């Protein structure tokens, strides 16, 4: 298992108010794989979370994604869609989503091009730095956490608090 050492920083490229870069990524759910994917244009008018994570099946990522799953109703009640993204293939996403009964789309950025655009791709490790972005209905960043941590639930609570304040 590859662990990203502490101190590895994402490259902070965006700030609140900037438009989300274009993306067009395939995704998987527990029920299907969609190669035609989802585009940022498809999300216009919606609030959504882009949650970058290193890899399916790893303990930390499983804990993070299962927390989103367990809090899914809360996010849905806030009209927020969760879109986790890693560099894994959609086939891995599909199996992982089935195994953990995930109730949202897992976006696959296997070329790492969107993650690179976002400043979260760490070339020396070949994976994404855990980071969370909230995109508003206008397609602009409302919340950015380039250093989202699983050391405790502080970052998750801050994200949820922010979203509740937006209602």
Show which residues are catalytic.
61
Q: Which residues of 69-95 are buried (b: 16+ CB within 10 A; e: fewer)?
A: beeeeebeeeebebbbbbbbebebbbb
Distances (CA, A) of 85 to 47, 66, 80, 161, 166: 16, 14, 16, 22, 23
């Amino acid at each position: 298992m590859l662990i990203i050492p502490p101190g590895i920083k994402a490259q902070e490229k965006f700030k609140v108010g900037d438009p989300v870069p274009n993306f067009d990524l395939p995704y998987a759910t527990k029920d299907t794989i969609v190669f035609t994917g989802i585009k940022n244009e498809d999300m216009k008018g919606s609030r959504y979370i882009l949650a970058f994570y290193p890899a399916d099946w790893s303990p930390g990522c499983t804990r993070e994604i299962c927390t989103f799953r367990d809090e899914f109703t809360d996010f849905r009640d806030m009209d927020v869609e969760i879109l986790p993204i890693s560099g894994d293939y959609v086939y891995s996403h599909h199996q992982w989503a089935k195994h953990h009964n995930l109730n949202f789309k897992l976006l696959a950025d296997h070329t790492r091009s969107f993650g690179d655009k976002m400043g979260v791709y760490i070339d020396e490790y070949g994976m994404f730095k855990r980071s969370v972005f909230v995109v508003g209905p206008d397609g602009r960043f409302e919340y950015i956490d380039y250093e989202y941590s699983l050391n405790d639930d502080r970052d998750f609570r801050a994200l949820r608090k922010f979203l509740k304040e937006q209602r």
